[in-house]
Structure 1
Amino acid sequence: MTNSRIYTSQAARRVAATFAAIALFAPAAMAQDDHVLIESDAFTYEPGPGSLAEGAEYQVLYGDPGGKGVFAMRLKLPDGFHIAPHHHGQPEIVTVISGRFRVGMGEEANHDAATALEPGGFFAYPPGMAHYAYADGETVIQLNSTGPWTITYVRDEDDPRTQ
């Protein structure tokens, strides 16, 4: 039997909020046959994650970034948000949902040299590839990968977890 979670209009927002709280505070990896259906207005963003500077918001849509297996999450970034040069231990697979997301490769960030991706834009970087990003206007991206998810900043002083 396949487990199913369906989030619908206003009446189910309370259910969605409960699932979101469970996912944030006691995440459990979902079986591959689990089914998730989330209407666009049925989830809310939470502050964080702690690996990004203040102002970022996120919501895990599927899976558990801290556990093993596939996950999907959305990040909402305010205008001017910058993610300093960093790399990941797993592939980073990103689709721009709204706004403009500038991405560049390398250990030195350069806003003007970064490629501007509009809604529908996509990139996939392999583990270990140094890159950086900027949000031009409020921007929402969807990040898909496998856990456990890690982010390692090129310079320790850029890591918000150490400040």
Structure 2
Amino acid sequence: MQVISAFAIGISAFCTLASSAQAKDAHVLVTPNDVQWGAAPKTLPAGAQAAVLFGDPSKEGLFALRLKVPAGYAIPPHTHPGNEVVTVISGTFNLGMGNTADRGLAKPLPAGSFFAMMPGTAHFAYADEEAVIQITTNGPWGIKYVNPADDPQKTQ
């Protein structure tokens, strides 16, 4: 629960960017030029940008969130409390499974790739080039690092 609460605080700053998507009966249409990037939640390593396209990841219900990561970005091994449903929009996003970030076991996922994982599945990710992914799933979304020392909030 602590992970979800911390995420809710971190994400609230950029949830307002998708205010038109908050209404239950709103029709949402977003073109690439409409995406409004802001700082990613502090639960993720520094350097990423995020944009909420639909819904609110800190609340129950469907949401769509884009995450833009720079070249050299890495997310240490972690899990999520809910399903993780991801599409690679641009660049190549490398995904590895397990409690250790063994890059030799990661699979490069180029633009157009898709992956989905069950809650609690340990995984890690990194990008050698700028990449954009889209997470479309049900909230509340959260992240729990396998090694608590990897949590960026512990170093801020």
1:21–1:102 Cα change, 3 Å = closer
Aligned identity (percent) is 47
Over 3 Å counting, the alpha-carbon distance change for 1:41 and 1:159 in structure 2 is same
Amino acid at match of 2:66: R
Alignment match of 1:93 (pick from 82, 85, 101):
85
Q: C-alpha displacement at 1:157, in angstroms?
A: 0.7
Q: Distance in 2 between matches of 1:27 and 1:157?
A: 37
Unaligned runs of 5+ in 2: 1-12
Query: In the alignment, which residue of structure 1 is the partner of 2:16?
Result: 23
Residues in 2 aligned to 1:34 and 1:56: alpha-carbon distance in whole angstroms: 28
- Bigger relative contact order, structure 1 or 2, given CA contacts below 8 A and separation 6+? 2
In structure 2, relative to structure 1, the CA distance for the partners of 1:142 and 1:28 (3 Å cut) is closer
Structural mapping, 1:1-163, within 5 Å: 23=16, 29-31=22-24, 33-163=25-155
Residue 43 of structure 1, CA deviation: 2.2
Unmatched runs of 5 consecutive residues or more in structure 1? 1-19
Shift of the alpha carbon at 1:21? 5.7
> Are the aligned partners of 1:69 and 1:148 in contact in 2 as well (CA < 8 Å)?
yes
Residues 162 and 98 of structure 1, relative CA distance in 2, 3 Å threshold: same
Partner in structure 1 of residue 10 of structure 2? none
TM-score of the pair, normalised by structure 2: 0.85
* SS of equivalent to 1:109: coil
Following the alignment from structure 2 to structure 1, what is the Cα–Cα distance between the partners of residues 107 and 66? 20
- Structure 1's consecutive aligned runs of 4 or more residues displaced over 6 angstroms after TM superposition are 25-28
Q: Mark the structure with the bigger radius of gyration.
A: 1
Give the number of equivalent residue pairs.
143
SS of corresponding position for 1:35: coil
Superposition RMSD on alpha carbons, in Å? 2.1
1:30 Cα deviation after fit: 3.9
Contact 2:37 2:50 in 1 (8 A): yes
103 and 26 in structure 1: CA distance in 2 versus 1, 3 angstrom threshold: same
